[in-house]
Structure 1
Amino acid sequence: MEQTTAGRWSRAFRAAFPATIPVLTGFLCLGLAYGVLMETKGYGPLWSTLMSAVAFGGSMQYVAITLLTTAFDPLQAFLLSVMVNARHIFYGLSLLDKYKGLGKVRGFLIYVLCDETFSLVSTVEPPPEVERRNFYLCVSLLDYSYWVVATALGGLLGNFLTFDTTGMDFALTALFVVLFLEQWSRRENRPAGVIGIACAAVSLAVVGADNLVIPAMVLILAVLLSGRKWLDHPERGEDLG
Protein backbone atom coordinates (compact mmCIF):
# COMPACT_ATOMS: atom_id res chain seq x y z
CA MET A 1 0.00 0.00 0.00
CA GLU A 2 1.44 3.36 -1.03
CA GLN A 3 2.41 5.63 1.83
CA THR A 4 0.74 8.98 2.25
CA THR A 5 2.81 12.17 2.13
CA ALA A 6 2.37 12.61 5.88
CA GLY A 7 3.51 9.04 6.46
CA ARG A 8 6.68 9.53 4.41
CA TRP A 9 7.58 12.70 6.26
CA SER A 10 6.87 11.05 9.59
CA ARG A 11 9.26 8.22 8.74
CA ALA A 12 11.90 10.71 7.64
CA PHE A 13 11.54 12.74 10.83
CA ARG A 14 11.78 9.65 13.06
CA ALA A 15 14.91 8.57 11.21
CA ALA A 16 16.53 12.01 11.25
CA PHE A 17 15.82 13.12 14.82
CA PRO A 18 18.01 10.56 16.68
CA ALA A 19 20.94 11.45 14.42
CA THR A 20 20.59 15.15 15.27
CA ILE A 21 20.46 14.76 19.06
CA PRO A 22 24.21 15.57 19.47
CA VAL A 23 23.65 18.73 17.43
CA LEU A 24 20.60 19.58 19.54
CA THR A 25 22.61 19.42 22.76
CA GLY A 26 25.46 21.39 21.25
CA PHE A 27 23.29 24.03 19.60
CA LEU A 28 21.29 24.47 22.79
CA CYS A 29 24.46 25.60 24.56
CA LEU A 30 25.84 27.50 21.58
CA GLY A 31 22.60 29.28 20.74
CA LEU A 32 21.96 30.23 24.34
CA ALA A 33 25.49 31.58 24.63
CA TYR A 34 25.15 33.54 21.40
CA GLY A 35 21.82 35.04 22.43
CA VAL A 36 23.20 36.02 25.83
CA LEU A 37 26.32 37.58 24.28
CA MET A 38 24.22 39.58 21.83
CA GLU A 39 22.05 40.80 24.68
CA THR A 40 25.08 41.94 26.68
CA LYS A 41 26.19 43.99 23.65
CA GLY A 42 22.84 45.76 23.44
CA TYR A 43 21.13 43.63 20.78
CA GLY A 44 17.85 42.20 22.02
CA PRO A 45 16.26 38.81 21.31
CA LEU A 46 14.66 40.01 18.07
CA TRP A 47 17.98 41.03 16.52
CA SER A 48 19.87 37.91 17.62
CA THR A 49 17.06 35.64 16.40
CA LEU A 50 16.90 37.42 13.04
CA MET A 51 20.67 37.10 12.71
CA SER A 52 20.48 33.36 13.32
CA ALA A 53 17.48 32.88 11.02
CA VAL A 54 18.87 34.92 8.12
CA ALA A 55 22.65 34.68 8.40
CA PHE A 56 22.84 31.23 10.06
CA GLY A 57 26.61 31.56 10.13
CA GLY A 58 27.53 29.81 13.38
CA SER A 59 31.12 30.84 14.06
CA MET A 60 30.77 33.91 11.84
CA GLN A 61 27.89 35.10 13.99
CA TYR A 62 30.17 35.07 17.01
CA VAL A 63 32.76 37.03 15.05
CA ALA A 64 30.04 39.44 13.91
CA ILE A 65 29.41 40.46 17.52
CA THR A 66 32.76 42.24 17.45
CA LEU A 67 32.04 43.75 14.03
CA LEU A 68 28.72 45.10 15.27
CA THR A 69 30.25 46.78 18.30
CA THR A 70 33.22 48.48 16.56
CA ALA A 71 33.62 50.98 13.73
CA PHE A 72 32.16 49.32 10.62
CA ASP A 73 34.70 48.44 7.93
CA PRO A 74 32.91 46.81 4.94
CA LEU A 75 36.09 45.46 3.35
CA GLN A 76 37.33 43.95 6.60
CA ALA A 77 33.91 42.40 7.27
CA PHE A 78 33.81 40.89 3.78
CA LEU A 79 37.32 39.44 3.92
CA LEU A 80 36.76 38.09 7.42
CA SER A 81 33.52 36.43 6.34
CA VAL A 82 35.27 34.80 3.39
CA MET A 83 38.10 33.54 5.61
CA VAL A 84 35.81 32.14 8.29
CA ASN A 85 33.32 30.53 5.91
CA ALA A 86 35.65 29.43 3.11
CA ARG A 87 35.33 25.84 4.31
CA HIS A 88 31.77 25.78 2.97
CA ILE A 89 33.18 25.76 -0.57
CA PHE A 90 34.73 22.39 0.16
CA TYR A 91 31.58 21.18 1.93
CA GLY A 92 29.51 22.06 -1.12
CA LEU A 93 31.84 20.27 -3.50
CA SER A 94 31.81 17.10 -1.43
CA LEU A 95 27.99 17.06 -1.29
CA LEU A 96 27.37 17.44 -5.01
CA ASP A 97 26.53 13.77 -5.40
CA LYS A 98 24.40 13.51 -2.24
CA TYR A 99 22.29 16.55 -3.12
CA LYS A 100 22.00 15.70 -6.79
CA GLY A 101 18.46 15.27 -8.08
CA LEU A 102 16.71 16.48 -4.92
CA GLY A 103 14.55 19.01 -6.76
CA LYS A 104 13.39 22.32 -5.34
CA VAL A 105 14.59 21.61 -1.79
CA ARG A 106 18.21 21.57 -2.96
CA GLY A 107 18.50 25.35 -2.71
CA PHE A 108 17.27 25.38 0.86
CA LEU A 109 19.60 22.52 1.81
CA ILE A 110 22.53 24.54 0.47
CA TYR A 111 21.37 27.66 2.30
CA VAL A 112 21.16 26.01 5.74
CA LEU A 113 24.26 23.85 5.36
CA CYS A 114 26.50 24.19 8.40
CA ASP A 115 29.41 22.26 9.90
CA GLU A 116 27.21 20.02 12.02
CA THR A 117 24.71 19.28 9.25
CA PHE A 118 27.57 18.50 6.89
CA SER A 119 29.02 16.10 9.45
CA LEU A 120 25.70 14.24 9.69
CA VAL A 121 24.77 14.25 6.01
CA SER A 122 28.22 13.05 4.94
CA THR A 123 28.27 10.10 7.36
CA VAL A 124 24.67 9.05 8.08
CA GLU A 125 22.71 7.23 5.39
CA PRO A 126 18.90 7.29 5.32
CA PRO A 127 17.14 3.98 6.03
CA PRO A 128 15.95 2.07 2.94
CA GLU A 129 12.31 2.99 3.59
CA VAL A 130 13.04 6.74 3.78
CA GLU A 131 13.51 8.98 0.74
CA ARG A 132 16.87 10.74 0.54
CA ARG A 133 15.28 14.12 -0.08
CA ASN A 134 13.01 13.87 2.96
CA PHE A 135 15.77 12.59 5.22
CA TYR A 136 18.29 15.27 4.33
CA LEU A 137 15.64 17.98 4.53
CA CYS A 138 14.54 16.83 8.00
CA VAL A 139 18.15 16.77 9.24
CA SER A 140 18.74 20.29 7.89
CA LEU A 141 15.46 21.68 9.21
CA LEU A 142 16.00 20.20 12.67
CA ASP A 143 19.54 21.58 12.97
CA TYR A 144 18.40 24.98 11.69
CA SER A 145 15.48 25.13 14.11
CA TYR A 146 17.68 24.10 17.06
CA TRP A 147 19.98 27.04 16.41
CA VAL A 148 17.26 29.65 15.87
CA VAL A 149 15.16 28.60 18.87
CA ALA A 150 18.18 28.36 21.17
CA THR A 151 19.30 31.84 20.08
CA ALA A 152 15.85 33.25 20.89
CA LEU A 153 15.94 31.61 24.33
CA GLY A 154 19.42 32.96 24.97
CA GLY A 155 18.33 36.45 24.02
CA LEU A 156 15.42 36.27 26.43
CA LEU A 157 17.51 34.83 29.26
CA GLY A 158 20.15 37.48 28.70
CA ASN A 159 17.79 40.04 30.22
CA PHE A 160 17.97 38.25 33.57
CA LEU A 161 21.61 37.12 33.69
CA THR A 162 24.22 39.38 35.26
CA PHE A 163 27.32 37.14 35.46
CA ASP A 164 30.54 37.66 33.46
CA THR A 165 30.09 36.15 29.97
CA THR A 166 33.81 35.97 29.18
CA GLY A 167 34.64 32.61 27.60
CA MET A 168 31.11 31.66 26.58
CA ASP A 169 32.09 31.72 22.91
CA PHE A 170 34.29 28.65 23.62
CA ALA A 171 31.07 26.63 23.40
CA LEU A 172 31.51 26.60 19.61
CA THR A 173 34.94 25.01 19.87
CA ALA A 174 33.59 22.49 22.38
CA LEU A 175 30.88 21.39 19.94
CA PHE A 176 33.45 20.79 17.19
CA VAL A 177 35.47 18.64 19.61
CA VAL A 178 32.39 16.57 20.46
CA LEU A 179 31.53 16.07 16.78
CA PHE A 180 35.13 15.06 16.04
CA LEU A 181 35.15 12.52 18.85
CA GLU A 182 31.86 11.07 17.61
CA GLN A 183 33.34 10.59 14.14
CA TRP A 184 36.57 9.23 15.61
CA SER A 185 34.63 6.44 17.31
CA ARG A 186 34.12 4.91 13.86
CA ARG A 187 37.27 3.13 12.72
CA GLU A 188 36.73 3.90 9.04
CA ASN A 189 36.71 7.66 9.75
CA ARG A 190 40.00 7.77 11.62
CA PRO A 191 42.37 8.11 8.62
CA ALA A 192 40.50 11.23 7.49
CA GLY A 193 40.61 12.57 11.04
CA VAL A 194 44.37 12.09 11.26
CA ILE A 195 44.79 13.81 7.88
CA GLY A 196 42.71 16.76 9.07
CA ILE A 197 44.72 17.17 12.28
CA ALA A 198 48.06 16.89 10.47
CA CYS A 199 47.10 19.37 7.75
CA ALA A 200 45.78 21.86 10.31
CA ALA A 201 49.03 21.54 12.30
CA VAL A 202 51.14 22.15 9.18
CA SER A 203 49.05 25.19 8.23
CA LEU A 204 49.29 26.54 11.77
CA ALA A 205 53.07 26.23 11.70
CA VAL A 206 53.41 27.82 8.26
CA VAL A 207 50.85 30.67 8.20
CA GLY A 208 49.88 31.10 11.84
CA ALA A 209 46.57 30.90 13.70
CA ASP A 210 44.99 33.96 12.08
CA ASN A 211 45.23 32.62 8.50
CA LEU A 212 45.20 28.85 8.76
CA VAL A 213 41.60 28.07 7.68
CA ILE A 214 41.90 28.33 3.89
CA PRO A 215 45.43 26.82 3.61
CA ALA A 216 44.40 23.94 5.88
CA MET A 217 41.27 23.21 3.82
CA VAL A 218 43.23 23.34 0.54
CA LEU A 219 45.88 21.02 1.96
CA ILE A 220 43.26 18.61 3.31
CA LEU A 221 41.51 18.54 -0.07
CA ALA A 222 44.78 17.88 -1.89
CA VAL A 223 45.75 15.04 0.46
CA LEU A 224 42.30 13.45 0.34
CA LEU A 225 42.19 13.60 -3.45
CA SER A 226 45.68 12.16 -3.81
CA GLY A 227 44.91 9.35 -1.37
CA ARG A 228 41.32 8.75 -2.43
CA LYS A 229 41.86 5.19 -3.64
CA TRP A 230 43.52 4.19 -0.39
CA LEU A 231 40.85 5.87 1.74
CA ASP A 232 38.02 4.27 -0.23
CA HIS A 233 39.68 0.84 0.04
CA PRO A 234 41.75 0.79 3.25
CA GLU A 235 42.05 -2.98 3.02
CA ARG A 236 44.55 -2.46 0.21
CA GLY A 237 46.88 -0.76 2.62
CA GLU A 238 46.47 -3.65 5.05
CA ASP A 239 47.29 -6.15 2.28
CA LEU A 240 50.48 -4.27 1.49
CA GLY A 241 51.50 -4.04 5.14
Structure 2
Amino acid sequence: MNKSLLLNAFKTTIPVLFGYIPMGMAFGILFNELGFHWIYAALMSLVIYAGAGQFMAVGLLANHAGFMEVAITTLLLNSRHLFYGISLINKFKTHWLRKFYLIFGLTDETYSLLTGTRPPKDKEQTDFYLLITVLNHSYWVIGSTLGAIIGANMHFNTSGLDFTLPALFTVLAIEQYKSVRESWPFMMAGVVAFLSIWLFSRDNMLLMSILLSIIVLLILRLTHKPSDTIKQESV
Protein backbone atom coordinates (compact mmCIF):
# COMPACT_ATOMS: atom_id res chain seq x y z
CA MET A 1 0.00 0.00 0.00
CA ASN A 2 1.81 3.16 -1.18
CA LYS A 3 1.50 6.86 -0.35
CA SER A 4 0.06 7.79 -3.75
CA LEU A 5 -2.81 5.34 -3.24
CA LEU A 6 -3.50 6.84 0.19
CA LEU A 7 -3.46 10.35 -1.29
CA ASN A 8 -5.88 9.26 -4.02
CA ALA A 9 -8.21 7.74 -1.44
CA PHE A 10 -8.03 10.88 0.70
CA LYS A 11 -8.90 13.13 -2.25
CA THR A 12 -11.84 10.85 -3.05
CA THR A 13 -13.17 11.06 0.51
CA ILE A 14 -12.90 14.85 0.93
CA PRO A 15 -16.68 15.40 0.39
CA VAL A 16 -17.38 12.83 3.10
CA LEU A 17 -14.82 14.50 5.39
CA PHE A 18 -16.69 17.81 5.22
CA GLY A 19 -19.98 16.00 5.84
CA TYR A 20 -19.00 13.51 8.53
CA ILE A 21 -17.09 15.89 10.82
CA PRO A 22 -19.99 18.32 11.47
CA MET A 23 -22.60 15.54 11.47
CA GLY A 24 -20.47 13.49 13.85
CA MET A 25 -20.10 16.53 16.09
CA ALA A 26 -23.88 17.01 16.08
CA PHE A 27 -24.33 13.39 17.16
CA GLY A 28 -21.69 13.72 19.88
CA ILE A 29 -23.37 16.82 21.30
CA LEU A 30 -26.83 15.22 21.26
CA PHE A 31 -25.49 12.00 22.80
CA ASN A 32 -23.78 13.95 25.55
CA GLU A 33 -27.13 15.53 26.48
CA LEU A 34 -28.33 12.07 27.54
CA GLY A 35 -25.89 12.26 30.45
CA PHE A 36 -23.30 9.74 29.20
CA HIS A 37 -19.56 10.32 29.36
CA TRP A 38 -18.07 11.56 26.06
CA ILE A 39 -16.04 8.35 25.68
CA TYR A 40 -19.24 6.39 25.01
CA ALA A 41 -20.02 8.52 21.95
CA ALA A 42 -16.55 7.74 20.59
CA LEU A 43 -16.91 4.01 21.32
CA MET A 44 -20.37 3.91 19.73
CA SER A 45 -19.04 5.50 16.54
CA LEU A 46 -16.04 3.17 16.52
CA VAL A 47 -17.89 -0.09 17.18
CA ILE A 48 -21.37 0.51 15.76
CA TYR A 49 -20.64 3.11 13.03
CA ALA A 50 -24.16 3.80 11.79
CA GLY A 51 -24.82 7.51 11.30
CA ALA A 52 -28.61 7.51 10.96
CA GLY A 53 -28.85 4.58 13.36
CA GLN A 54 -26.85 6.44 16.00
CA PHE A 55 -29.04 9.53 15.71
CA MET A 56 -32.07 7.26 16.03
CA ALA A 57 -30.48 5.63 19.09
CA VAL A 58 -30.32 9.03 20.80
CA GLY A 59 -34.10 9.36 20.52
CA LEU A 60 -34.72 5.77 21.57
CA LEU A 61 -32.45 6.05 24.61
CA ALA A 62 -34.05 9.36 25.57
CA ASN A 63 -37.47 7.66 25.52
CA HIS A 64 -36.21 4.56 27.39
CA ALA A 65 -37.14 2.23 24.52
CA GLY A 66 -37.07 -1.52 25.09
CA PHE A 67 -34.66 -3.99 23.51
CA MET A 68 -37.16 -5.34 20.95
CA GLU A 69 -38.19 -1.85 19.89
CA VAL A 70 -34.57 -0.86 19.37
CA ALA A 71 -33.80 -4.10 17.46
CA ILE A 72 -36.79 -3.88 15.09
CA THR A 73 -36.38 -0.17 14.41
CA THR A 74 -32.67 -0.60 13.68
CA LEU A 75 -33.35 -3.56 11.39
CA LEU A 76 -35.90 -1.60 9.35
CA LEU A 77 -33.69 1.47 9.15
CA ASN A 78 -30.60 -0.43 8.01
CA SER A 79 -32.33 -2.94 5.71
CA ARG A 80 -31.13 -0.89 2.72
CA HIS A 81 -27.59 -2.15 3.35
CA LEU A 82 -28.67 -5.62 2.20
CA PHE A 83 -29.07 -4.24 -1.31
CA TYR A 84 -25.78 -2.35 -1.09
CA GLY A 85 -23.92 -5.52 -0.14
CA ILE A 86 -25.41 -7.61 -2.95
CA SER A 87 -24.28 -5.11 -5.58
CA LEU A 88 -20.70 -5.12 -4.21
CA ILE A 89 -20.12 -8.87 -3.94
CA ASN A 90 -17.82 -8.93 -6.97
CA LYS A 91 -15.93 -5.81 -5.88
CA PHE A 92 -14.78 -7.10 -2.49
CA LYS A 93 -12.10 -9.48 -3.76
CA THR A 94 -10.49 -10.28 -0.43
CA HIS A 95 -10.94 -12.55 2.57
CA TRP A 96 -11.15 -12.72 6.36
CA LEU A 97 -10.69 -9.53 8.38
CA ARG A 98 -10.30 -7.20 5.41
CA LYS A 99 -13.54 -8.39 3.86
CA PHE A 100 -15.33 -8.28 7.21
CA TYR A 101 -14.21 -4.68 7.74
CA LEU A 102 -15.32 -3.65 4.23
CA ILE A 103 -18.76 -5.07 5.01
CA PHE A 104 -18.84 -3.47 8.47
CA GLY A 105 -17.81 -0.04 7.15
CA LEU A 106 -20.29 0.09 4.27
CA THR A 107 -22.29 3.26 4.84
CA ASP A 108 -24.43 5.20 2.34
CA GLU A 109 -21.60 7.62 1.59
CA THR A 110 -18.94 4.90 1.35
CA TYR A 111 -21.17 2.93 -1.01
CA SER A 112 -21.52 6.01 -3.21
CA LEU A 113 -17.74 6.41 -3.40
CA LEU A 114 -17.06 2.72 -4.04
CA THR A 115 -19.52 2.62 -6.92
CA GLY A 116 -18.71 6.06 -8.33
CA THR A 117 -14.91 6.01 -8.43
CA ARG A 118 -12.29 3.75 -9.93
CA PRO A 119 -9.02 2.72 -8.28
CA PRO A 120 -5.80 3.98 -9.93
CA LYS A 121 -4.91 0.40 -10.85
CA ASP A 122 -7.06 -2.72 -10.99
CA LYS A 123 -4.58 -4.69 -8.91
CA GLU A 124 -4.90 -2.12 -6.11
CA GLN A 125 -8.72 -2.16 -6.13
CA THR A 126 -9.18 -3.83 -2.72
CA ASP A 127 -6.55 -1.61 -1.04
CA PHE A 128 -8.21 1.48 -2.50
CA TYR A 129 -11.65 0.45 -1.25
CA LEU A 130 -10.21 -0.43 2.15
CA LEU A 131 -8.54 2.98 2.48
CA ILE A 132 -11.76 4.78 1.55
CA THR A 133 -13.64 2.79 4.20
CA VAL A 134 -11.01 3.41 6.90
CA LEU A 135 -10.82 7.14 6.16
CA ASN A 136 -14.60 7.60 6.21
CA HIS A 137 -14.81 5.65 9.46
CA SER A 138 -12.09 7.79 11.04
CA TYR A 139 -13.87 11.02 10.02
CA TRP A 140 -17.05 9.88 11.78
CA VAL A 141 -15.20 8.82 14.94
CA ILE A 142 -13.25 12.10 15.06
CA GLY A 143 -16.39 14.18 14.56
CA SER A 144 -18.36 12.26 17.20
CA THR A 145 -15.54 12.50 19.72
CA LEU A 146 -15.06 16.24 19.17
CA GLY A 147 -18.80 16.86 19.46
CA ALA A 148 -19.09 14.87 22.68
CA ILE A 149 -16.12 16.69 24.24
CA ILE A 150 -17.50 20.09 23.17
CA GLY A 151 -20.95 19.17 24.46
CA ALA A 152 -19.51 18.15 27.81
CA ASN A 153 -17.77 21.50 28.26
CA MET A 154 -20.04 24.09 26.67
CA HIS A 155 -23.51 24.70 25.26
CA PHE A 156 -23.69 24.39 21.47
CA ASN A 157 -26.44 25.42 19.05
CA THR A 158 -26.99 22.60 16.55
CA SER A 159 -29.63 24.35 14.42
CA GLY A 160 -28.82 24.05 10.72
CA LEU A 161 -26.48 21.07 11.10
CA ASP A 162 -29.24 18.70 10.01
CA PHE A 163 -28.81 20.04 6.45
CA THR A 164 -25.22 18.78 6.28
CA LEU A 165 -26.17 15.22 5.33
CA PRO A 166 -28.57 16.18 2.47
CA ALA A 167 -25.88 18.55 1.17
CA LEU A 168 -23.34 15.72 1.28
CA PHE A 169 -25.67 13.38 -0.64
CA THR A 170 -26.16 16.11 -3.27
CA VAL A 171 -22.41 16.41 -3.79
CA LEU A 172 -22.01 12.62 -4.02
CA ALA A 173 -24.87 12.40 -6.54
CA ILE A 174 -23.12 14.98 -8.74
CA GLU A 175 -19.89 12.98 -8.51
CA GLN A 176 -21.81 9.81 -9.44
CA TYR A 177 -23.21 11.55 -12.53
CA LYS A 178 -19.74 12.72 -13.59
CA SER A 179 -18.55 9.12 -13.33
CA VAL A 180 -21.52 7.41 -15.02
CA ARG A 181 -22.38 10.10 -17.60
CA GLU A 182 -25.87 8.69 -18.03
CA SER A 183 -28.95 10.64 -17.00
CA TRP A 184 -31.57 7.86 -16.93
CA PRO A 185 -30.59 6.33 -13.52
CA PHE A 186 -30.93 9.74 -11.87
CA MET A 187 -34.20 10.51 -13.64
CA MET A 188 -35.53 7.12 -12.58
CA ALA A 189 -34.43 7.76 -8.97
CA GLY A 190 -36.24 11.09 -8.99
CA VAL A 191 -39.46 9.55 -10.32
CA VAL A 192 -39.29 6.66 -7.83
CA ALA A 193 -38.68 9.06 -4.93
CA PHE A 194 -41.66 11.22 -5.98
CA LEU A 195 -43.93 8.17 -6.27
CA SER A 196 -42.78 6.89 -2.87
CA ILE A 197 -43.63 10.18 -1.18
CA TRP A 198 -46.95 10.42 -3.05
CA LEU A 199 -48.10 6.84 -2.49
CA PHE A 200 -46.61 6.29 0.96
CA SER A 201 -45.64 8.38 3.96
CA ARG A 202 -42.39 10.32 4.27
CA ASP A 203 -41.31 8.02 7.09
CA ASN A 204 -41.47 5.00 4.75
CA MET A 205 -40.15 6.83 1.70
CA LEU A 206 -36.58 5.42 1.79
CA LEU A 207 -37.56 1.76 2.15
CA MET A 208 -40.31 2.01 -0.48
CA SER A 209 -37.99 3.83 -2.89
CA ILE A 210 -35.49 0.98 -2.62
CA LEU A 211 -38.21 -1.63 -3.24
CA LEU A 212 -39.66 0.28 -6.22
CA SER A 213 -36.17 0.74 -7.68
CA ILE A 214 -35.50 -2.99 -7.44
CA ILE A 215 -38.81 -3.76 -9.16
CA VAL A 216 -38.05 -1.32 -11.98
CA LEU A 217 -34.52 -2.67 -12.44
CA LEU A 218 -35.78 -6.27 -12.50
CA ILE A 219 -38.35 -5.36 -15.14
CA LEU A 220 -35.67 -3.66 -17.24
CA ARG A 221 -33.42 -6.68 -16.80
CA LEU A 222 -36.13 -9.15 -17.85
CA THR A 223 -37.16 -7.09 -20.87
CA HIS A 224 -33.56 -6.53 -22.00
CA LYS A 225 -33.02 -8.33 -25.30
CA PRO A 226 -30.12 -10.82 -25.55
CA SER A 227 -29.16 -9.29 -28.89
CA ASP A 228 -28.67 -5.93 -27.16
CA THR A 229 -26.35 -7.58 -24.65
CA ILE A 230 -24.30 -9.20 -27.41
CA LYS A 231 -24.11 -5.91 -29.26
CA GLN A 232 -22.88 -4.05 -26.16
CA GLU A 233 -20.27 -6.71 -25.42
CA SER A 234 -18.95 -6.55 -28.98
CA VAL A 235 -18.52 -2.78 -28.64
TM-score after normalising by structure 1: 0.84
1:162 alignment counterpart:
155
What secondary structure, in the 3-state scheme, does the structure 1 residue paired with 2:50 have?
Answer: coil
CA distance in 1, matches of 2:130, 2:11: 14
CA distance in 2, matches of 1:174, 1:41: 27
User: C-alpha offsets along residues 156-197 of structure 1, whole Å, 9 cap, x if unaligned?
Assistant: 111233244355334333322332233345562532122122
1:208 alignment counterpart:
201
Shift of 1:129: 7.0
Q: CA distance change for structure 1 residues 43 and 175 in 2, over 3 Å: closer, same or farther?
A: farther
- The one-letter amino acid paired with 1:102 is T
Percent identity of equivalent pairs: 33
1:181 alignment counterpart:
174
1:46 alignment counterpart:
39
- Unaligned 5+ runs, structure 1: 1-7, 237-241
Given candidates 91, 95, 105, the residue that maps to 1:98 is 91
User: C-alpha offsets along residues 37-71 of structure 1, whole Å, 9 cap, x if unaligned?
Assistant: 11223223201111111110111111110011112
| 8 Å CA contact retained: 2:20, 2:139 | yes
| 8 Å CA contact retained: 2:113, 2:172 | no
Q: CA distance change for structure 1 residues 114 and 189 in 2, over 3 Å: closer, same or farther?
A: farther
- The one-letter amino acid paired with 1:190 is S
- Unaligned 5+ runs, structure 2: none
CA distance in 1, matches of 2:154, 2:190: 37
The worse-fitting range, judged by mean Cα deviation, of 17-26 and 165-174 is 165-174
What secondary structure, in the 3-state scheme, does the structure 2 residue paired with 1:107 have?
Answer: helix
2:138 alignment counterpart:
145
The worse-fitting range, judged by mean Cα deviation, of 62-71 and 182-191 is 182-191
1:62 aligns with 2:82: no
Note the 1:103-122 alignment, pairs <5 A: 103-104=95-96, 105-122=98-115
- The one-letter amino acid paired with 2:111 is F
User: C-alpha offsets along residues 123-169 of structure 1, whole Å, 9 cap, x if unaligned?
Assistant: 11111276111111111101111111111111111123324435533
Q: CA distance change for structure 1 residues 163 and 21 in 2, over 3 Å: closer, same or farther?
A: closer
The two structures, once aligned, show a CA RMSD in angstroms of 2.2
1:22 aligns with 2:15: yes
TM-score after normalising by structure 2: 0.86
- The one-letter amino acid paired with 1:29 is P
How many residues of Structure 1 are paired with residues of Structure 2 in the alignment? Answer: 224
